[in-house]
């Protein structure tokens, strides 16, 4: 099973070593083109052991790792490799896997239902980010036929699962996460959909994947489940509780919404990172650059123009009337670049 490190196609164990060599690389200067396995100028394997993870801030801040430049001219600095994207829009299901609500206003444990019934700040963000000028950056990417991705995010469903909920610093493997999703499909607590990203949230120091807080803050990947006797691919994101590792997995700024729910405020940054990468590179075979970085990877932990909110926090976008601080995203237009809107 592949896991995608936010910005790096590699194992968590080798992430630090790769960060030392990335600075020596440079973006290609030719026009964008589809990936060819026979073209030696493309030096990234389309798959890696552990998917796309979002590295901790300390690793990302090393020279050569953040805000990679474009190629210049008609080259945007990111390439299409032939794989599928979520062209018609992105659907997200929140899976809260904990013995108590993780975020303020989140659904009660043991319940499931429509995303519109999630009263948390995370739920609000998921319900309003689609259609925004921020998420519109993803429309600069296309599928194999050249059709642009639609600016749409639908928060379709949630499941607050307290069964066998991990606690403490327990490490949870990808196999365990997929098995948990399978139990939700089997019981009817979750509805399976091939175009849905199932975002798995846990509390405290629960270590989704084994490298939380030391190598990465979140990641997206895919697994295999059985639906009505047929094997199907399921898209999911590991979303540990970022506020546990404030120096590595949060912005370091005061939360945009003050004391409302700092944990949720910090979580939306990694959540949107994994959502937009799943949108443009759902299986790890579509859009990424020569280094293996996906669109959000290229701008991780960079904020653009920020402002102070009424509660004294730091934000850079407002969606649905609420302020949030989210990283910039790479626009696949012109010569490319990190932007907050398109």
Please provide the DSSP assignment of 24-82 as one string. Answer: G-----SPP----TT-TT----S--TT-EEEE-HHHHTSTTSSS----BTTB-S-EE-S
**Residue for token pair 């499941």:** 159
pLDDT of residue 62: 56
Buried-exposed string 72-107: b where 16+ CB fall within 10 A, e elsewhere: eeebbbbbbbebebbbebbbbbbbbbbeebbbeebb
pLDDT of residue 274: 98
Give the count of beta carbons closer than 10 Å to the beta carbon of residue 258. 15
pLDDT of residue 38: 27
Please provide the DSSP assignment of 138-159 as one string. Answer: GGG-B-TTSPBPP--EEEEEEE
Residue 23, SS3?
helix
pLDDT of residue 156: 98
pLDDT of residue 60: 75
Low-confidence ranges of the chain (pLDDT < 70): 1-51, 61-74
**Residue for token pair 């949108």:** 279
| φ/ψ (deg, to 5) at 91 | -110, 140
Element (H, E) at 340: none
Q: Are 189 and 161 in contact (CB under 8 A)?
A: yes
Range of the domain at 160: 3-339
Q: Which has the closest alpha carbon to 217: 174, 251, 260?
A: 251
The pLDDT tens digits of the residues spanning 188-204 come to 999 999 999 999 999 99
Does the pTM exceed 0.95?
Answer: no
Domain count, the chain: 1
pLDDT of residue 69: 52
């Amino acid at each position: 099973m592949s896991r995608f490190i936010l910005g790096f196609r590699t194992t968590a164990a080798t992430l630090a070593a790769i960060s030392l060599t990335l600075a020596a690389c440079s973006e290609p200067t030719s026009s964008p083109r589809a990936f060819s396995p026979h073209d030696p100028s493309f030096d990234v394997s389309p798959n890696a052991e552990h998917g796309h993870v979002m590295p901790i801030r300390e690793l990302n801040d090393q020279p050569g790792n953040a805000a990679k430049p474009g190629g210049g001219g008609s080259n945007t600095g990111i390439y299409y490799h032939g794989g599928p994207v979520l062209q018609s829009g992105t659907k997200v299901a929140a899976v809260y896997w904990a013995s108590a609500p993780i975020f303020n206003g989140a659904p009660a444990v043991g319940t499931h239902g429509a995303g519109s019934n999630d009263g948390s700040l995370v739920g609000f963000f998921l319900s309003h980010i689609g259609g925004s000028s921020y998420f519109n950056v993803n429309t600069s990417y296309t599928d194999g036929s050249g059709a642009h991705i639609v600016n749409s995010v639908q928060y379709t469903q949630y499941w607050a699962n307290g069964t066998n909920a991990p606690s403490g610093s327990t490490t949870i493997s990808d196999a365990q996460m997929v098995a948990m999703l399978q139990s939700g499909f089997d019981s009817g607590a979750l509805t399976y959909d091939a175009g849905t990203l199932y975002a798995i949230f846990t509390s405290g120091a629960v270590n989704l994947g084994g490298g939380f807080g030391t190598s990465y803050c979140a990641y997206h990947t895919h697994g295999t489940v059985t639906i009505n006797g047929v094997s199907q691919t399921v898209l999911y994101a590991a979303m540990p509780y970022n506020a546990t590792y404030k120096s590595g997995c949060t912005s370091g700024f005061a939360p945009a919404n003050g004391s409302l729910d700092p944990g949720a405020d910090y979580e939306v940054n990694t959540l949107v990172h994994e959502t937009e990468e799943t949108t443009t590179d759902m299986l790890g075979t579509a859009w990424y650059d020569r280094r293996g970085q996906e669109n959000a990877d290229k701008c991780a932990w960079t904020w653009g123009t920020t402002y102070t909110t009424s509660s004294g926090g730091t934000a850079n976008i407002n969606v649905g009337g609420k302020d949030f601080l989210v990283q910039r995203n790479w626009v696949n237009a012109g010569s490319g670049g990190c932007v907050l809107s398109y």
